């Protein structure tokens, strides 16, 4: 199986489906992450060109740690992603070249304008991917992928559905290490956005870093596990502390919800 996550920024994939990616790779599947923007505006003080290089390197470190096939970062400015014909064609080519069985992305109702643009672009590709005269320089894949959304907390127009669930307790430590690669985000920029004034993680031990990551980001995967505990119990035969979920998108290859869960067989 070939799994592709298309996010807007070079840490979205790690955070949203890092655990599932780790489990898929351990089971011998191929995983590619794509960041549609270079992330060059997600910082309180670092100049954009330096930040883009730094974030590229952070993403590559995480990719190596997880064993991804590739972590591709497109050269589009952060906070400037738009649903344009040019970007649509770019996405078509990126997707066709990897030929994924499953594509996961943001929902179109997410909080960040870049996330919404990516969601729309991916949705626009879902049909056009299989049109041979569109971007004919890259051949259409043999299989039309199944499209899915990862977790978000937004409830309008609808809360995210747990159409497929994956326990990630068994890989949570490694997922924290993936997040730990994104120093500019999890220890610098994002704490500021959370109102943590004068925040500094300098000189922290791994235990302190892990506790920080768990408190501010691990909690959402505990929320998912609580939300989908009945499904998780049924699937794994025991209670689960951390989980990731996937909502089925009807815009790609059609599968039943049972078949959809089977696309995440780990």
Contact set with Zn ion (CB under 5 A)? 8-9, 12
- Point out the residue whose Cβ comes nearest to Zn ion: 9
Nearer to Zn ion, 16 or 240 (CB): 16
Nearer to Zn ion, 81 or 232 (CB): 81
Residues 7, 105: contact at Cβ < 8 Å? yes
Token pair listed for 218 = 């691990």
Distance CA 43, CA 55 (A): 10
Query: Residue 203 CB, nearest distance to Zn ion (Å)?
Result: 28
CA–CA distance from 240 to each of 23, 79, 82, 258 (Å)? 15, 36, 38, 20
Nearer to Zn ion, 123 or 231 (CB): 123
Query: Residue 34 CB, nearest distance to Zn ion (Å)?
Result: 12
Query: Residue 35 CB, nearest distance to Zn ion (Å)?
Result: 8
List Cβ neighbours of 164 (8 Å cut-off, separation of 6 or more).
148, 245, 246, 248, 260, 261, 263, 264
Query: Residue 15 CB, nearest distance to Zn ion (Å)?
Result: 8
Query: Residue 86 CB, nearest distance to Zn ion (Å)?
Result: 21
List Cβ neighbours of 152 (8 Å cut-off, separation of 6 or more).
106, 107, 109, 110, 111, 160
Nearer to Zn ion, 12 or 58 (CB): 12
Query: Residue 261 CB, nearest distance to Zn ion (Å)?
Result: 26
Apex CA 221: angle with CA 218 and CA 224, to 5°?
155
Nearer to Zn ion, 79 or 263 (CB): 79
Nearer to Zn ion, 7 or 252 (CB): 7
List Cβ neighbours of 180 (8 Å cut-off, separation of 6 or more).
186, 209, 213
> How many Å separate Cα 242 from the centre of its chain?
16
């Amino acid at each position: 199986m070939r799994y592709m996550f298309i996010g807007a920024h070079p840490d979205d994939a790690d955070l949203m489906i890092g655990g599932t990616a780790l489990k898929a790779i351990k089971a011998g599947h191929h995983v590619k992450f794509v960041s549609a923007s270079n992330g060059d505006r997600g910082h309180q003080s670092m100049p954009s060109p330096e930040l883009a290089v730094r974030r590229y390197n952070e993403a590559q470190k995480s990719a190596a740690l997880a064993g991804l096939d590739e972590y591709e970062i497109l050269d589009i400015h952060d906070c400037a992603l738009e649903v344009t014909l040019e970007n649509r064609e770019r996405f078509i080519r990126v997707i066709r070249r990897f030929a994924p069985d499953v594509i996961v992305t943001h929902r179109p109702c997410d909080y960040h304008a870049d996330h919404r643009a990516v969601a729309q672009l991916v949705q626009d590709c879902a049909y056009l991917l299989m049109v041979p005269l569109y971007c004919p320089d890259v051949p259409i894949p043999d299989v039309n992928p199944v499209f899915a959304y990862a977790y978000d907390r937004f409830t309008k127009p609808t809360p995210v559905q747990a159409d497929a669930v994956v326990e990630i307790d068994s890989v949570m430590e490694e997922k924290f290490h993936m997040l730990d690669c994104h120093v500019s985000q999890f220890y610098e920029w994002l704490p500021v956005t959370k109102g943590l004034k004068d925040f500094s993680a300098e000189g922290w031990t791994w235990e302190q870093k892990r506790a920080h990551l768990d408190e501010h980001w691990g909690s959402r995967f505990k929320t998912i596990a609580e939300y989908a505990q009945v499904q998780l119990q049924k699937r794994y035969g025991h209670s689960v502390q951390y989980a990731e979920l996937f909502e089925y998108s009807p815009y790609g290859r059609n599968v039943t919800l049972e078949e959809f869960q089977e696309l995440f067989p780990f």
